[in-house]
Amino acid sequence: MIVTMTDFGVQGPYLAQMKAVLAHLAPGVSVLDLFTDAPAFNPRSSAYLLAAYAPDFPAGSVFLCVVDPGVGTERGALAVRAQGRWFVGPDNGLLLPTAKRDPAAQAWRIAWRPERLSATFHGRDLFAPVAARLACGDSPPGPEVEIPALVGADWPEDLAEVVYVDVYGNAMTGLRAATLPKHGELHVDGQRLRYARTFADAPRGGAFWYENANGLVEIAVNQGRADRALSLAPGTPVRPVASA
């Protein structure tokens, strides 16, 4: 299957235009949308989401990842093979946390260029055709490059900030819950949040942190919106603190 991750949203023509290329070049291959609302213009936050959610998908899946504020500039284009899956997108750090979590990961610089390459829509013109061809079994169209040479190779293993706010107002962070003790606290916006296993373990209206279904530290308010209650948005810093 091909899995998209973009900051396009579902309104407007962009996602459909990209999917039309996939349907033409990889007919019969399933296409699923993982995130259409990745943090806009923010490949760093999006990168830690991708690393947490990609392992849910079968080996052999191809991820078409477009959070690309540098589109049309000299930024590079990549195909990465990590954890048995393909990832296609810009060389702006978006693919790096995923690659760094697999010691056997490989990366290729996309050297191929289509006859039609707009200055502002490489998702349709460059990344979608490459993703479709990888899904059909083709090889990466360019030379291999070392992972440490790519943008984002120096980013931390976990990101201590909010990376995504969902429809309920819950705020995912770039921290893997396995790195925090369950008795620890999370400090955010001047408040100290304690761990709860699930929503019902907190009082109604109470804020807490928990391990979400994909292993990330997430901040929530039981039957409320954590983003509004705590002024949270992508980029808001958080600080884990072990309890005394």
- Residue range 164-205, pLDDT digits in tens: 999 999 999 999 999 998 888 999 988 999 999 999 999 999
Helix, strand, coil percent content, the chain, rounded in steps of 5: 25, 30, 45
What is the SS3 assignment for 182?
coil
**Is the pLDDT score of 243 beyond 70?**
no
Task: Give the chain's domains with CATH numbers.
Answer: 2-149 (3.40.50.10790), 159-241 (2.40.30.90)
Contacts for 199 with CB less than 8 Å, ≥ 6 apart = 210, 220, 222, 223
The tokens of 153 are what? 């190779």
How far is residue 174's CA from residue 243's CA, in Å, rounded to a whole number?
21
pLDDT digits (tens, 9 = 90+) for 109-136: 999 999 999 999 999 999 999 999 999 9
List, in sequence order, every residue forming a beta bridge with 193; answer none if it has no partner: 186
Q: What is the pTM of this model?
A: 0.95
**Is the pLDDT score of 244 beyond 60?**
no
How far is residue 198's CA from residue 240's CA, in Å, rounded to a whole number?
19
How far is residue 38's CA from residue 23's CA, in Å, rounded to a whole number?
23
